[in-house]
Each structure stands twice: as structure tokens, then as C-alpha cells.
Amino acid sequence: MRLFILFLSFSLMSDEFKSWDAKFKFTHYSAGNITLKRSFKFDENEITSRFILRPLFIYEYSQKSSLVLESNKVKTLFTRVKNNVPGSKEKSFEVAFLDNKIESKELGFSFLNEDNVLDQLGSDLQMRLNVKNGVNNFFLNVITNTEGKIVEREYKVVGEEIIKKKFGNINCIKVKATSNDAGDITYYISPKYDFMIIDSFIELRNGKINKLSLVDEPKFLEE
């Protein structure tokens, strides 16, 4: 009941979010634990979202996206994914979203963006916003980082759960994302931390699971 009241109070607020920096632990099913840094900058509905993961100093898996938020709808303007990690199936690519058109030289496509396709970081933000506004079931079209293809995902709020961290127990909203063309993802979203995704579990086609987990309390830049 307490989480429901907190959730309701946040849902009545505007569509603004705080800016933050945060440290995560990425647990790969075979490579083990790797530090991942994320940042989210929100300035008058113009947003930059990014992450960077370095297994070794000379290798990098990262993404940076430019987003806008208008009338509770997220749009991706540009995204860049870089990956030079040996043995990885993920691709390095850039995608531009201009005048309702999506283009990517690396992925070899150019088409009209009639259904508002988002990059992965844009879909994360749209999910946070929808959950914040009490939308419990919705669909998003997303360009995956693993294969650079567009998949439709269905998102459902499936319950509430307390996630234990070294800095305390966090009440979370649990969201399940499913697709016919990609593995399932389970998200844990914290109303206390501005509806940030504090944990996520990615189910791969081979049945293995990768995990992304918040390590320390996020640093909100307005504070």
C-alpha cells in the first residue's frame, strides 16, 4: 500500500526528470563482473543519455543518445553505439532520426519512422515515463544494440518487489518486456530514485542471463 501511494503521488507530477550520474555492475554470464557507468542529462526536455563499459582499457562498449521529450512522448534524434570488444556479437553503428526518417549507413537502412522507433536508451526513458504516469501495458519499437535490428517489445507491470542494496532496501516496480524477435528483459524501477532502472535482467537467445545492477546511490546533479 505504501508503494502504491508513493507511485500514485509521482504519477501526478510532470514529465520532467532529474539529471544523474550512476555506477552499475554489469554481470556477463561468461565474462563475469564489469563496471559500467551511466549518465542522464535532462535540460528543458532535451536529453542526453549514455553509458560506457570498458572490459579492458583498450576496449569499449558504449552508447550515447540524443533524445527529446514532448507531450509524454520520447523521440530519438541520434544514437551512436561503439563496440570493439573481441568476440562480441554486438555491432558498432550510428543511427540518425531526421524528419520522420531513420538512416544508418552501418546497418544499411533508410526508411520512414512512421511508428516512432526508439534506440535502447530512448526506450528506457519512455518506459520510465510510462510507469511514472501509471501506464501498465504498452508496446515500443526498439533498435537493439545486439543485432542492430528493429523489434517490437511489449512492456507489462507485473508487480512490486524490494531490491536489497548495500545502501538500503529499495521498493521497486517490476516490469517485464517481451518480444517474438528478442530475449525477455526484466526491469526494476525505483520511484524513490526518480523512476530510475536500478536492476535489469536480460535473457539471451542461448538461455543465459546478463544482469545490470546499481552499485552505489545515484548522484543527482541538482542536489
Per-residue model confidence as pLDDT tens digits over 39-89: 999 988 789 999 999 877 778 999 999 999 988 999 999 999 998 877 666
Tell me the pLDDT band of 99, cut-offs 50, 70 and 90.
Answer: confident
Q: What is the pLDDT of residue 8?
A: 47
pLDDT at 195 over 50: yes
Q: Which three cell numbers stand for residue 82?
A: 561503439
The mean pLDDT value for 180-208 works out to: 95
Q: What is the pLDDT of residue 223?
A: 55
Residue with cell 561468461: 30
pLDDT at 188 over 90: yes
The mean pLDDT value for 22-51 works out to: 93
Q: Measured between alpha carbons, how far is 177 from 98 in angstroms, rounded to an integer? A: 27
- Average per-residue pLDDT for the chain: 89
Q: Which three cell numbers stand for residue 31?
A: 565474462
Tell me the pLDDT band of 90, cut-offs 50, 70 and 90.
Answer: low
Output the pTM of the full model.
Answer: 0.88
The mean pLDDT value for 150-171 works out to: 97
pLDDT at 91 over 90: no
Q: Which three cell numbers stand for residue 35?
A: 563496471
Residues 115, 94 contacting (CB under 8 angstroms)? no
Q: So where are the chain's domains?
A: 2-213
102-143 tens-digit pLDDT: 999 988 888 887 789 999 999 999 999 999 999 999 999 998
Closest CA to 76 of 87, 62, 64: 64
Residue 177 C-alpha from the chain's centroid: 11
* CATH classification for the domain delimited by 2-213, as one of 2.60.98, 2.50.20, 2.60.40, 3.90.550: 2.50.20
Residues 194, 219 contacting (CB under 8 angstroms)? no
Q: What is the pLDDT of residue 11?
A: 44
Q: What is the pLDDT of residue 115?
A: 83
Q: Which of 10-19, 96-105, 123-132 has the highest mean pLDDT?
A: 123-132
Q: Which three cell numbers stand for residue 150?
A: 528493429
Q: What is the pLDDT of residue 7?
A: 47
Q: Measured between alpha carbons, how far is 184 from 3 in angstroms, rounded to an integer? A: 25
**In percent, how much of the chain has pLDDT > 70?**
90
Q: What is the pLDDT of residue 89?
A: 62
